[in-house]
Structure 1
Amino acid sequence: MTEQSYSIGTPGKKWGDAEKHQWLAKQLVKRSYQEQVVAKLANLSAQFETQEYGYLKYADLPVVKDADNYPLFIIKSVNWNDELPTVLITGGVHGYETSGVQGALRFALEHAGSYGNKFNFVIAPCVSPWGYETINRWNPLAVDPNRSFFEGSKAQEATLLMQYLKHNEIKPICHIDLHETTDTDNSEFRPALASRDAIEQKNWNIPDGFYLVADSQNPQVEFQSAIIESVKKVTHIAPADENDCLIGAPLQQFGVIEYDARPLGLCMGMTDAEYKTTTEVYPDSQLVDDENCIMAQVAVITGALNHLLSR
């Protein structure tokens, strides 16, 4: 696939405030964070306590409607035990990646109870609620939250979550960050990125199937393999391309590539968790539906937990 033009910006020139405002003005609310996410938290009261850890404050941006209606929530094991290992689960860092959000909620509602006396859970089901409602990868400032988990970040989605973990001294042994790779990566988000940053976008590969991204600084090969074994019982694993790569990155093992998480500002790099992974579900495959994608995310979590219990 060749470079695509984008409706905003001038070729060879990075976006300024005018282009970012133009982009923001085009974004529309398409679904309800309150109805599809927040309302479900009430069903978790037996196993989890819900904590509000901040608000996304975008009210000074005139084209963002009801900006202060984006409270951020953590669900945390109600019977917290300091003697147990802690597992952090994050969804919706990229708000448009639906199964990550709904997979986190589904695990909490239907599966967490089976592990309640073995782990403490901290779950942030929707890190980017504005992105969830507008089906966006970026936040209203045209910033990618999943490149923003570092000290001094200007992305509220990242800084508020990092502050919560630091303030509450949450030190997980495992962090699972739930994501998707979609066809809109090519039709919208990669062209927008190329235009915003005035760069050539060289990778247009979208794997047909599920894959994982490990942290190259601590890849935990057996951990990743155990997750793949769990997920392939639910959905198909993406095959490597003709260059033995997925999305331009060399395959490290079946269904797994690696990124250096912390320098890239990735969510999975924000803690010192011994075990970490980023999932990538492909919801646009002809072989899956919405429910299958949600269950693939659940299979990631249960596969990871079962591996940790087997150590």
Structure 2
Amino acid sequence: MMSSSYPIGLPNTPWGETEKAEWLSLQRIQRSYADDVLSQLDKLSSDFDVEQYGSLNYQPYAGKDYPLFAVKSRPWNPNRPTVLVTGGVHGYETSGVHGALRFLQSKATGYSEHFNLLVLPCLSPWGYETINRWTPLAVDPNRSFVENSPAQESALAMAYVASVSGPSSNKEGILAHIDLHETTDSDNSEFRPAKAARDGTVNTNWNIPDGFYLVGDTVQPAADFQRAIIESVAAVTHIAEPDEQGCLIGEPLAQPGVILYDTKAAGLCAGFSGAEYVTTTEVYPDSANSTPENCIQAQVAAVCAGLDYLLQVK
């Protein structure tokens, strides 16, 4: 289904700096990173190491900079496998941020004797505050986990994880990476039309799946890992059914509730770590059968199911 034209820019003409500035001028702060996220991190410092790994230099765009934080289990043991959990790569995907925080608050200490846990709960705090997918420069962080990244959010996260975990080819590298996301109705109403306008292309909306699903990695699909997560989350929330073409967001099912992307080639967050086990969660918060709390619980269930699976096979 083709969407109507976007109100910024000309059809079939990529945005220049003028259009990007116009887009930025329309963005508004709608919630507080400090109140919702940083205040929660303060409470975790008795059980975890909370480290600032960078700052987003957004004074020219937002009138302030944004400190970025990671949470590490303790004690950190280089002989244990490391599991990376990321949230808020797309700041508007609320349960990704709060699912990462809830996991730390309620479940993480139970796994700390088995794994080094490295959690980056909110990679895109400006996106969180403005309920937005992009950076202030109209860049998608989740297509920017590449060399010479155009997104500070992505570049700082990659550099920090590499400094903590070591090269992925070493035993100290990342065993598993679980990236917490949502698919929302606003993908069709706002973000896909905006992307098409920015790029000077024609937008065709996808069918928004009603329910939870996973995006695995084409190169390392880890089918049993994905299946274990789906089975666990199904006890918390409903799993998305495929559309009439047997697809979710235009991709064929690899197994119930799971599609695959070449995550590294696409510049996705899940692809940068080189982990053996990789998945991206996709919660649907706009479902009539979901609540904000249910979405958070689904994210926590996904992380715990992934860790429980790893305990069985490693």
The letter of the residue matching 1:266 is: L
1:225 Cα deviation (Å)? 0.2
Deviation at 1:282, TM superposition (A): 0.1
Aligned pair partner of 1:252 in 235, 254, 259 = 254
Distance in 2, Cα, partners of 1:32 & 1:203: 30
What is the CA distance between 1:135 and its match in structure 2? 0.2
In the alignment, the residues of structure 1 paired with residue 195 and residue 247 of structure 2 have an alpha-carbon distance, to the nearest angstrom, of 22
Q: CA deviation at 1:221?
A: 0.3
Of 290, 293, 300, which aligns to 1:291?
293
Q: Is the 8 A contact 2:70 2:120 kept in 1?
A: yes
Q: Which residue of 2 aligns with 1:65?
A: 63
Question: What TM-score do you get using the length of structure 1 for normalisation?
Answer: 0.97
Q: Which runs of 5+ in 1 are unaligned?
A: none
Tell me the CA shift for residue 50 of structure 1. 0.6
Secondary structure in structure 2 of the residue aligned to 1:276: strand
Report the CA distance between 1:102 and its aligned residue: 0.2
Counterpart secondary structure, 1:4? coil
Preserved CA contact (<8 Å) 1:94 1:131: yes
Query: How far apart, CA to CA, are the structure 2 residues paired with 1:249 and 1:129?
Result: 29
Contact 2:12 2:202 in 1 (8 A): no
- Tell me the SS of whatever aligns to 2:165: coil
Alignment partner of 1:99 is 2:95:
yes
In the TM superposition, what is the alpha-carbon distance from 1:113 to its structure 2 partner? 1.4
2:21 maps to what in 1?
Answer: 21
Does the aligned pair in 2 maintain the 1:31–1:134 contact within 8 Å?
yes
- Matched residue type, 1:2: M
Query: Could you say which residue in structure 1 is the equivalent of 2:39?
Result: 39
**Residue 110 in structure 1 maps to residue 112 in structure 2:** no
Contact 1:13 1:198 in 2 (8 A): yes
- State the Cα deviation string for residues 61-86 of structure 1 (Å, max 9, x = none): 3xx222x2x10000011211122111
Q: Return the offset for 1:224.
A: 0.2
Q: Percent identity?
A: 58
Structure 1 residue runs of 4 or more that deviate by more than 4 Å after TM superposition: none
Normalised to the residue count of structure 2, the TM-score between the two structures is 0.96
Unaligned ranges ≥5, structure 2? 167-172
Please report how far the alpha carbon of residue 203 of structure 1 lies from its aligned counterpart in structure 2 after TM superposition.
Answer: 3.6
- One-letter code aligned to 1:237: I
Comparing 294-303 with 164-173, which one deviates more in the overlay? Answer: 164-173
Which residue in the other structure is 1:12 paired with? 12
Residue 166, structure 1, aligned to residue 162, structure 2: yes
CA contact (8 A) 1:100 1:294 kept: yes
Q: Residue in 1 aligned with 2:274?
A: 272
Q: How many angstroms apart in 1 are the aligned matches of 2:198 and 2:86? A: 27
SS of equivalent to 2:182: coil
Q: Quick check: 1:203–1:248 contact (8 Å CA) kept in 2?
A: no
2:173 matched to 1:204?
A: no
> What code does the residue aligned with 2:63 have?
K
In 2, Cα distance between equivalents of 1:200 and 1:299: 37
Corresponding letter in the other structure for 1:157 = E
Residue type of the alignment partner of 1:99: S
Q: Structure 2 CA distance, aligned partners of 1:168 and 1:296?
A: 28
**Cα distance in 1 between the residues matched to 2:98 and 2:121:** 8
8 Å contact kept, 2:165–2:174: no
Tell me how far apart the structure 2 counterparts of residues 6 and 272 of structure 1 sit (CA, whole Å).
37
Letter in 2 for 1:45: S
How far does residue 104 in structure 1 lie from its aligned partner after superposition? 0.3
For these two proteins, the number of residue pairs brought into alignment is 307
